[in-house]
Structure 1
């Protein structure tokens, strides 16, 4: 029985993780969760998880109220409470389904306590990849990817010599505006940007898909997960999104992982590795649903934030934290209709260009870089509005 601590239990990945666990009660159990502010969802989560021992929420007042309602459970709050939960609850696997930069410290904490980590929080590697890599080298825990693209690559690597890899090929849907020119993006609305052609996702990831910032993050993730240089990591636009990513080997053979767009598959593979378990209540993939598959090259001029991510990934230091913090803030401003769509690119590029570069940042310096980037974006936006 694999005991799991789940951070971000009320989000999409967290909910699907719970679904996987409940369908394989003989293999997994969840012993602790965090939910932030979503107390309404927490009541349902507690009712589902019979082995739950500890819960972390964002606010102390919520923790104290919940303690009265559920006296048999232990409650904690805030970032310190989450770190305490990771370090004190006996478990085998930490599932990080948090969103944003705040996921970095919990990832490091779990690794430093020799826990395996199933990672859906891409910011852990985008912002702190060097710290995560150093922590993995110093401790016994392993990192398993949950992102569908990285899970696909991980699966394509099984049984093969990593030294024989020629390149990784990450597929991209192209986002909401894949059929529009840059000129046509000048006055697009928030509603248009959120209308992804393939699926419905959260606000930030949908906008990041439209700018290709999300794909840039995935390139940086792949660099750290699979220890390959950036010139061996390519992105290709694949409209149907049924091939989740590919690996090309030195003999030019390409192995692809494909299937229906169901995030429970990569979640389950990260939980069960090296075993494969039956996917319950899942729709099998049918080739006849896709008589044609399409692929196209990615143009850096069309998607400048993808180009920026390659440059930031190469330079490392604190620039990943700056780029991510600026993007989080700029996307939030766009969703609030305070800036235009193309302003997101301008603000992120400007923040990276203006940041003080730190070659070997500490976690504290990464937190300062993240905060600086957000403040920079807000100040620039406010100045432009005056």
Structure 2
């Protein structure tokens, strides 16, 4: 098995720690993952030093504050139009301190991913994170992966360049599996059990979901996330993506990856072993814990996030997934089994359908229904074909255009 992320290897990083703090590059620094990662770094200056940051460019004031607070050598924005405002924001806040180098353009994050450092945290949202993921791996960096889409749409490409153990996952579910897998050998693993909060509509039938509004879908009961991820959690598309990601990261067949609904979001995932025992990773829902684990691996970061309070009574519930109301997980299994460009089509079509839903152009149940239509039209990839970045980009372009056509009616 070619396990991209397996804790048993306790891998020796390709780029070894030098004296002093571990040097990091954070991609997507102004987003939810990026801001929480910076919180971990600022509370552990003896362990980590950020040398470069990248962001899309929509929050240049925050990006400038981050860059100066961390003393980075380079800061990048994907939007070329944001370069001027970023330079102005940096100059206004520098107070005479040296200004970092500024990069701008769609390839800026990819350039940063290959820069000299120990680890690259890819916290970019969406499949645009694929090129930085590949760049970091090719440069021999440890990839702390929060950008699940890059692995999902480019699975064979990532597997071709990643060394065993070079990827440390940040998703709470995959960080949980990563830790629980340390409890046994590969041959002893019977199944992976991925938990899902169920989102805000876990008790509703398919018929009750038809009239869901964007405001209702954005009100996640447990996690604070960006709009796309929050909607994906409500449809359970996010869980479908995580099933594909678990298959790729741990090389476990799809029929041995199970999804169970756990509303409290305390048990983040579990591994069942062949002797019938199950190991679960539990902690309050706080992304700083898996982020810190990824940044510090193979060492843990003390007090990264609060632990469970075992002095208080608590109830943890587990329910089977309602595949009729939430068909996204089974669709993802089909897509993952097809392989090739099918996962890229699934992901790109979903992003367009989420956008259409948020704009009121598509009903809630129409999101996954439309994605399924696009996937069906895409068909089965030809057997034996090798995947290229150009194949992924072409498939995504077609899927987005077709999803927009179907959403428009």
Shorter-chain TM-score category? over 0.9
Q: Which residue of the partner structure matches residue 43 of structure 1?
A: 64
Once the two structures are superposed, what CA deviation does each residue of 1:9-56 show, in whole Å capped at 9, x if it has no partner? 000100010011111111111000101112021121023102x11111
Equivalent runs, 1:86-97 vs 2, <5 Å: 86-87=113-114, 89-97=115-123
Q: What is the rounded CA distance, in whole Å, between the counterparts of 2:191 and 2:183 in structure 1?
A: 16
Q: Find runs of 4+ consecutive structure 1 residues off by over 3 angstroms.
A: 64-68, 287-290, 356-359
Shift of 1:65: 5.0
Match of 1:339 among 362, 368, 374: 362
Match of 2:232 among 208, 212, 225: 208
Q: Which residue of the partner structure matches residue 73 of structure 2?
A: 53
Change (3 A) 1:194 1:61: closer
Q: Which residue of the partner structure matches residue 373 of structure 1?
A: 399
Which structure 2 segments of 5+ residues have no match?
1-20
Match of 1:324 among 347, 350, 359: 347
Which range is displaced more, 197-206 or 27-36? 197-206
Q: What is the rounded CA distance, in whole Å, between the counterparts of 1:277 and 1:46 in structure 2?
A: 23
Shift of 1:357: 4.5
What TM-score do the two structures reach when normalised by structure 1?
A: 0.94
Q: Which residue of the partner structure matches residue 17 of structure 2?
A: none
Q: Which residue of the partner structure matches residue 291 of structure 1?
A: 314
Equivalent runs, 1:226-305 vs 2, <5 Å: 226-280=250-304, 282-287=305-310, 289=312, 291-305=314-328
Q: Which residue of the partner structure matches residue 153 of structure 1?
A: 177
What TM-score do the two structures reach when normalised by structure 2?
A: 0.89
Shift of 1:75: 1.1
Provide the aligned length of Structure 1 versus Structure 2: 378
Q: Which residue of the partner structure matches residue 389 of structure 2?
A: 363
Change (3 A) 1:67 1:188: closer
Q: What is the rounded CA distance, in whole Å, between the counterparts of 2:165 and 2:298 in structure 1?
A: 15
Which structure 1 segments of 5+ residues have no match?
none
Q: What is the rounded CA distance, in whole Å, between the counterparts of 1:276 and 1:240 in structure 2?
A: 24
Change (3 A) 1:290 1:303: farther
Q: What is the rounded CA distance, in whole Å, between the counterparts of 1:295 and 1:206 in structure 2?
A: 21
CA contact (8 A) 1:67 1:73 kept: no
Change (3 A) 1:72 1:245: same
Q: Which residue of the partner structure matches residue 110 of structure 2?
A: 83
